[in-house]
A and B are shown apart, each in its own frame.
Chain A
């Protein structure tokens, strides 16, 4: 088991290296650097000015070396300004000389670099944003997983029944409704003072002005509550729910046709006991891995929902970083995203091994 995990971690590190290099490569293509130079410097720079800006700010030189600098295995660049003799460098604070500053400052040293769009250290930005997304994810999971499992189990325990058919159609419907469709429909129905439910409620006197739910989750950043957080959470949960429910249903249906269940039925065990005591545990193995693998999919949902509801979390940061070509912030985002994907994959594999009695790793 230890060797298995070790090998998986090795592959993980290799994958993370490859992926960050791809991100590094794409963000450091010349047209992107040119765009960066023009945003940071001046929109009307000439081509030679752009080239000199790129060189002056440490974006020149071979890409692989700069990737090494970012990783922290190559010494950071330093340059002396020919005009005023001031030293500039990757690891240098303003006014420092190379002697006072550390030679290496990259990922390995815990330095994520500087975000050009926010004018701040990446590490100062990313932590708070991740925490915000963590809260959103937690609630999305708290809604999505239990309801999906319930729907899946109810549908799967009597395959082909009327209940199964209606719940399955419901699940298919939810997978056919992407976040950007359900989000806008929710806003119209529940969070608009002009259309949907809220004007009716106000008319009936059940609501004194405003809207039922809030269509913007900005206030949820300070304190999430039922009124400002329901819509973003529901929007994320709805799309993922159908998929997990269908997996659970398939798994449950398969278990229900297994020999031991038939035996139990023939022995006269009540249906309730069969479902709860015999079938449920085995039926939940497959959904568990699916739930874990759902994390990377949720990321897309998080990006859409955070944009739609103006919640300044990780997904929103990713969009900002990508559209402004904020190289180091984007790299940090991709590190986090890749880390999440790989760790959930690992957990899903290990969990599968633990949960499934038929698989043993020698």
Chain B
């Protein structure tokens, strides 16, 4: 299937307002698309609202010929309950079987997959989801509103350890029972579900388009999809060897509701070393990379592969954890921030492939980004501040994963801290064990994927006590402001609050967040619809190879 068939609202009052802002030059086209499609306006309609041809909504998608086989280089990790996914790779394999309600596109717009469309009310506190008709699971059951409601209830279940969907559901979760709020999810008829928030919430659509939101059968919520293989997608997983490969083939016993082109997709795991990926590419072992990093971007292009680039809000944070001394002292954190020049991290870490960031984890491509005064780098002031805090001779140990860009970025930070007279030790932990403690290392680096809105990241990572708050950051004032921001559908109104939030993060020196990454992917000639996605998504239904 190609997503141009989806039906959406043709109009929305707030979207009209955004269109005016776009025309007045206050919004970029991308920001406009993110916001208006999140409100239920179709991408085509959104394009026409701002006077562009709706044909552009289809992006670069072409219709591939039927048949063929494709090999993709990607890590193959142990599968589990989709709600607890912590890797996009896990979702990419099962995406052939388990589909999503909504997907986000490379251009920032949202499109329905298992939903035909959705509408938000004026203050974005109630969403009407219209379920696609004629979709069946591969065990023969019809896909209905009951399945959607069951999945929503599963996502809201905050008692499940590691369920990161609960954070994305926001106010739908009753903080007392840790389950979905009474009456929040309502099945109107077989193909309509209404979701009601106590206050307005603009992140819902982005939340259900994220990779842990794979839709399971209503009776199979919380199970590992490999154990049953039940889903609405066109493919089935035939082999799954962790660390080696996974194979999908078109399911002959299932009538898929849309179109799927390839007969077979093989995911090949070549480990985490980009040098090994490149060797594999030179040896002709796969047709498409999951991601190409650093110097290897130029290398892959040099051997004649097609490059696909997308500017994103993906980043790396090198953060102290405030639950550990001396990082509970804001002066120590401030000193660290003062000593590090983000430009150096950008150059050494990712070969300059990105833009400099400002330590507050809100990206200029986010619609609500507020511009703050530029940061200063002053190594002498950093040393003085550290001495004043009484930690001048503290030995800072910075942990990173053993890979290419994260390790190099962290090394660059270590070198700059040393330049400022600090004593720094580096610890490098292999990828297989690094993630066991990633939220609790005293001082370590972590990569964060692209999110469509700035508030989504702040909700996921900086709110007090949430699962992925690796900073140990707890600030009631910040939380209150964030709640406020979550309720403002209007862009400029939210930007004022965002300015305060960003400023608080900078003043509390919560993290070093030196750059935003551009993401790259390479594929051989003849591979179709394999463009890089800002969140690394690979939808195997779209892929194809030239005959």
Contact = CB atoms under 8 A, between A and B. Distances in A.
B231 to A, nearest CB: 19
A215 B304 CA distance: 18
A328 to B, nearest CB: 15
Interface in A295-321: 309-310, 312, 320
Given A118-B78, A119-B242, A312-B243, A43 B439 contact: yes
B243 A214 contact: no
Contacts of B243: 117-118, 312, 320
A187 B467 CA distance: 44
Given A218-B268, A310-B270, A312-B243, A44 B282 contact: no
A117 B283 contact: no
Nearest to A213: B283
Interface string B274-308: 00100110111100000000000001001110000
A194 interface: yes
Given A44-B467, A216-B276, A324-B433, A310 B271 contact: yes
B244 interface: yes
Contact of A44 (B280, B299, B304, B439): B439
A211 interface: yes
A117 to B, nearest CB: 6
Nearest to B429: A323
A48 to B, nearest CB: 14
B161 A41 contact: yes
Contact of B432 (A118, A309, A324): A324
Interface of A: prevailing SS: loop
A42 B161 contact: yes
Given A42-B161, A320-B243, A216 B439 contact: no
Contacts of B252: none
B306 to A, nearest CB: 15
- Specify which of A41, A210, A216, A312 lies most central, judged by the most chain B CB atoms within 10 Å of its CB: A216
A14 B496 CA distance: 74
B283 A216 contact: yes
Give the bracket for the number of chain A residues in contact with chain B: 20 to 34
A24 to B, nearest CB: 20
Contacts of A278: none
A43 B279 contact: no
B286 to A, nearest CB: 9
Contacts of B162: 42-44
A210 B284 contact: yes
B511 interface: no
A228 B283 contact: yes
Given A117-B78, A117-B242, A310 B280 contact: yes
Give the bracket for the number of chain B residues in contact with chain A: 20 to 34
B437 interface: yes
A39 interface: yes
Contact of A216 (B79, B282, B435, B437): B282
A250 B519 CA distance: 59
Nearest to B439: A44
Contacts of A117: 78, 242-243, 432
Contacts of B437: 38, 43
A219 B282 contact: no
A29 B303 CA distance: 48
Interface of B: prevailing SS: loop
Contacts of B432: 117, 320, 323-324
Nearest to B242: A118
B242 A194 contact: no
- Specify which of A43, A192, A194, A209 lies most central, judged by the most chain B CB atoms within 10 Å of its CB: A43
A193 interface: yes
A42 B280 CA distance: 33
A218 B279 CA distance: 10
A215 B282 CA distance: 7
A262 interface: no
B438 interface: yes
Contacts of A35: 433, 436
A215 B281 CA distance: 9
Interface string A34-72: 010011011111000000000000000000000000000
Nearest to B436: A38
A218 B242 contact: no
B242 A216 contact: no
Nearest to A39: B436
B430 interface: yes
B435 A219 contact: no
Contact of B279 (A209, A216, A312): A216
B241 interface: yes
Interface string B431-445: 011011111100000
B284 A191 contact: no
Nearest to B302: A194
B282 A191 contact: yes
Contact of A310 (B279, B282, B430): B279
Contacts of B241: 118, 120
Nearest to A41: B161
Interface in A155-196: 187, 191-194
Contact of B299 (A45, A194, A218, A219): A194
Contact of A218 (B78, B280, B433): B280
A87 B437 CA distance: 31
A219 B280 CA distance: 9
Contacts of B78: 117-119
A310 B432 CA distance: 16
- Specify which of B282, B283, B299 lies most central, judged by the most chain A CB atoms within 10 Å of its CB: B283
Interface string B59-98: 0000000000000000000110000000000000000000
Contacts of B279: 187, 191, 214-216, 309-310
Nearest to B430: A323
Contacts of A44: 161-162, 439-440, 467
Interface in B401-448: 430, 432-433, 435-440
B436 A214 contact: no
A185 to B, nearest CB: 14
A35 B452 CA distance: 34
Contact of A214 (B244, B268, B283): B283
Contacts of A45: 161
A219 B439 contact: no
A194 B296 CA distance: 12
A119 B283 CA distance: 29
A310 B244 CA distance: 10
A194 B437 CA distance: 39
A41 B284 CA distance: 37
A42 B164 CA distance: 12
A40 B279 CA distance: 32
A211 B244 contact: no
Nearest to A308: B276
A43 B435 contact: yes
A38 B79 CA distance: 16
Contacts of A193: 282, 302-303
Given A39-B436, A310-B271, A219 B242 contact: no
27 contacts: A35-B433, A38-B437, A43-B437, A44-B467, A45-B161, A117-B242, A119-B78, A119-B242, A120-B241, A191-B282, A192-B282, A193-B302, A210-B282, A210-B284, A214-B283, A214-B284, A216-B279, A216-B283, A216-B285, A218-B268, A218-B270, A309-B279, A310-B280, A312-B244, A320-B243, A323-B432, A323-B433
Given A44-B162, A216-B280, A320-B243, 8 more contacts: A42-B161, A42-B162, A44-B439, A44-B467, A120-B242, A215-B279, A216-B282, A218-B285
Sorted nearest first, the 6 A-B pairs with minimum C-beta distance are A214-B283, A215-B279, A216-B279, A216-B283, A216-B280, A38-B436
